[in-house]
Chain A
């Protein structure tokens, strides 16, 4: 067998008390698309940051094309032909596409040769079939194009080995297809691709080999053609997954009835242009859509966080469109916000305090305006146990918990009051498989209790797994409502992109 292009052997890395990587091996062959998968915190990104020179390993060796390499920084990595497409784009918004591509390696004299730079970038675009407007400013182009700029940056530096860090997190299904097309083109041009992901569908769709990490160690090495998603998932999580399949439930009367709802966005334009949707007791209605098509505004309107400019929002028969959040919540509406760190929790507060937020002025948590510390603490302890928050310490600062545990705190607070409606906006964003599974189970538990659930998600898998009915949102309108049984990924993908005509009646 030929020499691997990248060979990382017995790599260890420790951050403080955390052993992020323990003797991890990774072998990648030239011309391969190699998927590096694992749960959050498994060490995928740390391992790649070591290969790219952003971290120094505590122990272990790296060989590139058979020669031992000491990579002290990104400069060394670039010199070895290693390029990284970061998850959070490393682009400078006020600069142009072309300027971003060449930044740090502008060539020519100290005077900026704008025309020459644009010509070079255009040539690169042509060669790899990647379209991006060289003169446009980054802040004016969509995320899908920004990612192409990241790819161009790496290709411009002559990289032979391209590391993609969770590249699909911010893309629409169509953009994902385009990206995979580009990735295959790159492989056909002889490039080597390392793809960090935890989405099994993507692993199966594009990769040749799979390396699975779990808790900072090697969990499996697999050939994609010879394996299946289940085997990869088991290697990632370390146990069998529970089957979450929605069985038809007992649907009750309408709990949430929204008719011709309109509202403005933060920028002043219309975010909602006449939304109609109903959610019944014991039913999950999924709102599918590319982020920014009015989903978040819809959730905020229901909760009373955004001014409603027209239409009616009924909860249990009474109009709440112009109620404030407190009154709405008193009617039994719970809310899992999109950004748990900014909207769902007060990070510097303790676990117990976060659990009772919103009820802090009511008995038994407060008596005559004085907080009852002992009661709050005991309640925090109880809920932490009930919702499996780790560590189950009521005095721990919530900001120090992992994302999954933070979300358990939000969820616990919201469902411990037995709401009749839950509005969940991106409830599993950024969570790994195990934490996602937990959130899903808890939501479905509420559903069987008879709670109505409005689930907003840009993850099609999540929508398809949990929903009884699926409403697709596009440019401030619900463009279609389908029973889950009739929804397929392709059909939803088209609707989400605004192709209403193509759908059979």
Chain B
């Protein structure tokens, strides 16, 4: 029982779900506006690296977070220029930027920190201790000592859910993703809306990246995101392009991830699951979710389609 729903597993679930959720939220925002951004993986990675880099150089946590998010914004801006202004293939542009992010961060990491590793003294994102929960079984252990970014993520989920479905800018953003021509004829600036959405997705993914490096690991290592941005996109689909759904899907994936750790060495009727098999759980879940839900949930009608305004 303990390995399935114990405080340890649940705490790990939340920890592992958070970066996936942030990437998924980024995906929701950008795809609701009609731009596919698979460079979210790269945005996470640069966020993770430049957060550590800035923390090392400035010794200031706010500066580190700001630089991490700026790095994500910069990468997303390149995607926006390619995808929106130049109407390039969004998958190709996203993939190219992912390769750029991987190469850039690995190179800089090697140049700067290969001999020593990233410094152990950098400021990290603090955890939030909920003292009053200490005595509560399971729940206290699960949420009583999580990173501040976890709570920020939760706030972002609520904010985005309300923003997309209960505000005027949210309505406009959705209309741009569904029928850009209609939005255009009503005086809504399709390109500007999409730029903002892509940039926001980059910032959200970068926050997910910096969470990995400055909260979970306390350091940077090569390709440390390891596909979490892509799993985030799967969570977005699984969650039907809504922030709440994306959070729920991220928690499912996080739970799969947590299980793959907590089930290690556990014996069931004399059989021990091989580690290699267990570590495929989150990826199997991803495939199942995408295969099972991609057809059933409806994506924004203009998702991934460049918009060319008439005339000029």
Contacts and interface: CB of A to CB of B under 8 A. Distances in A.
Interface of A: 49, 52, 54-56, 73-75, 78, 84, 86, 90-95, 99, 103-106, 108-112, 153
Contacts of A84: 185
28 contacts: A52-B185, A54-B310, A55-B311, A55-B312, A56-B312, A74-B186, A74-B187, A78-B187, A86-B185, A90-B179, A90-B181, A90-B185, A92-B178, A92-B182, A92-B183, A93-B178, A93-B301, A95-B174, A103-B175, A103-B186, A103-B188, A106-B168, A106-B171, A108-B168, A110-B167, A111-B166, A111-B168, A153-B186
A105 B171 contact: no
Nearest to B179: A92
B172 interface: yes
Given A74-B185, A110-B168, A54 B178 contact: no
A84 B182 CA distance: 11
Most chain B CB within a 10 A radius of its CB, from A73, A92, A105: A92
Interface string B155-198: 00000000000111111101100110111111110000000000
Given A112-B166, A112-B171, A94 B178 contact: yes
Nearest to B301: A93
Interface in B258-312: 298, 301, 310-312
Given A92-B178, A95-B171, A95-B175, A103 B183 contact: yes
Interface residues of B, number: 24
- A-B pairs with the 5 shortest C-beta distances? A104-B186, A90-B182, A55-B311, A75-B187, A106-B168
Most buried by A among B170, B172, B175, B298: B175
Given A92-B182, A104-B186, 18 more contacts: A49-B310, A55-B311, A55-B312, A56-B311, A74-B187, A75-B187, A90-B182, A92-B174, A92-B175, A92-B179, A93-B301, A99-B171, A103-B175, A104-B188, A105-B186, A108-B168, A110-B167, A111-B168
Contacts of A90: 179, 181-182, 185-186
A55 B172 contact: no
A112 B164 CA distance: 10
A99 B311 CA distance: 27
B187 A91 contact: no
Contacts of B310: 49, 54-55
A110 B182 CA distance: 21
A73 B187 contact: yes
Contacts of A91: 179, 182
B29 to A, nearest CB: 16
Nearest to B168: A106
B312 A104 contact: no
A185 B298 CA distance: 39
Given A49-B310, A93-B301, A54 B185 contact: yes
A90 B175 CA distance: 10
A49 B184 CA distance: 13
A391 to B, nearest CB: 27
A74 B310 CA distance: 11
A49 B309 CA distance: 12
B245 to A, nearest CB: 15
A86 B174 CA distance: 21
Contact of A93 (B166, B167, B179, B187): B179
Given A90-B181, A94-B178, A54 B311 contact: yes
Contacts of A105: 186-187
Contacts of B298: 94
Contact of B170 (A49, A75, A112, A153): A112
B248 to A, nearest CB: 21
B184 A74 contact: yes
Contacts of B167: 110-112
Contacts of A110: 167-169
Contacts of B311: 49, 54-56
A104 B179 CA distance: 13
A111 B174 CA distance: 15
A103 B168 CA distance: 8
A105 B187 CA distance: 9
Q: Which of B179, B181, B301 has the most chain A CB atoms inside 10 A of its CB?
A: B179
Contacts of B185: 52, 54, 74, 84, 86, 90
B272 to A, nearest CB: 48
Nearest to B186: A104
Interface in B178-221: 178-179, 181-188
Contacts of A109: 168
A300 B179 CA distance: 31
B176 to A, nearest CB: 9
A92 B310 CA distance: 18
A303 B182 CA distance: 38
A49 B187 CA distance: 14
B286 to A, nearest CB: 26
Contact of B172 (A52, A93, A94, A104): A104
B65 to A, nearest CB: 26
A94 B177 CA distance: 11
